[in-house]
Structure 1
């Protein structure tokens, strides 16, 4: 992680999770009530109206004001929380996504996932110079990073833009992905205990239901680098 990021967010702590030997094919192994109960819990997590009145949402929106973003960009979980709160529950996608969406819906922590085998070189979290190549999942047209935008990137280009608001198509996980790099940002120091509990739950469920091995490491300003391959 680069100094340009820590200069903006000195107190952020990030869980970096490596998952190996994953079987992400749908076999009914993830209990459907896991996602259903997580959707139902959102009202307890963000009870206030408007949604911006909730401390979780407010703090992330304030963080996004510190760097250049695409119009409408929010932190990675806000849209999921908003949908569930309005009675439009997050649907099943595949076993891995269902597991991490359930954790995000219950705790509010964003969780990103990239196919580790598709990453070129190392991953860095930094402030973009502008023009770094990016094509979003589901899109065909390139949409480069903006100057001043917070991005995750590898040696080829952006892997996640506006922090982790959108992931790149070229590193997208699929049902055939077997090795995954995951990351989850803890914005505030007072949230760290809950964040660590959430990450332990996440990795425990991945190992329990998907036959994988998962390892958690943490990155912070005083520990800005981990080895994950």
Structure 2
């Protein structure tokens, strides 16, 4: 049995974070037209309500994530992935359809502001660890040709083969991305602030309900915090 483990170096920086770990099995990620187009359309339309202020950094959601990223080493220009998603949509470039799973979790992020990662469970090697990098851990991002190893002091998710998410929730590795033939996924959704936890749980519940409804999957959610640092994911 493999585990999802959040290690002490992370808690030393972020003791209040809570993470939803979602196990997805029996997934049909082939596009059969099962998702209503309105799911992404409505989520894109909601962005202006979620982050109404200009510049984007003036919105409390974005401000808090930027402050968090100042607490550890990052690649220059790295931001929480949800900032890039929201900014793109707010600037008139709505997020387009990719595949059913990606569409559902992108819609969740656009509606709620929580970052969502989804990994192909079969591609993960050993435990998943959220920790602080020693530097040099291997990583190659989705759609990039060149590897970009982690920096010393960078917050990363890693398995036995290397980094699966760089700069905490900035970019994911190509080798573990969910694909149209993925049948089991490991997802995680971070809640940065305790006062966001009710909204976080509501977002998780809505996303898992949609995965079950539209993609024929089964989901199981467990929460990881400083008091509960490790759970089985497979």
TM range (shorter): over 0.9
**Which residue number in structure 2 is paired with residue 72 of structure 1?**
77
Residue 102 of structure 2 aligns to a residue in which SS? helix
Q: Distance in 2 between matches of 1:194 and 1:146?
A: 32
**How far apart in 2 are the matches of 1:72 and 1:176?**
33
Higher strand share: 2
- Aligned twin of 1:227: 232
5 Å-filtered alignment, 1:86-165, equals: 86-165=91-170
Equivalent residue, structure 2, for 1:4: 9
Give, in angstroms, the shift of residue 169 of structure 1. 1.1
- Spell out, residue by residue over 1:9-58, the C-alpha distance to the aligned partner (whole angstroms, 9 max, x if none): 00000000010010001011010001000000000000011100000000
List structure 1 runs of 4+ shifted beyond 6 angstroms: none
Gap regions ≥5 residues in structure 2: 1-5
Q: Give the 3-state SS of the residue equivalent to 2:131 in structure 1.
A: strand
Mapped to 1, the partners of 2:97 and 2:129 lie a distance apart of: 30
Structure 1 residue 186, shift from structure 2 partner: 0.1
Q: CA RMSD in A?
A: 0.6
The count of aligned residue pairs is 229
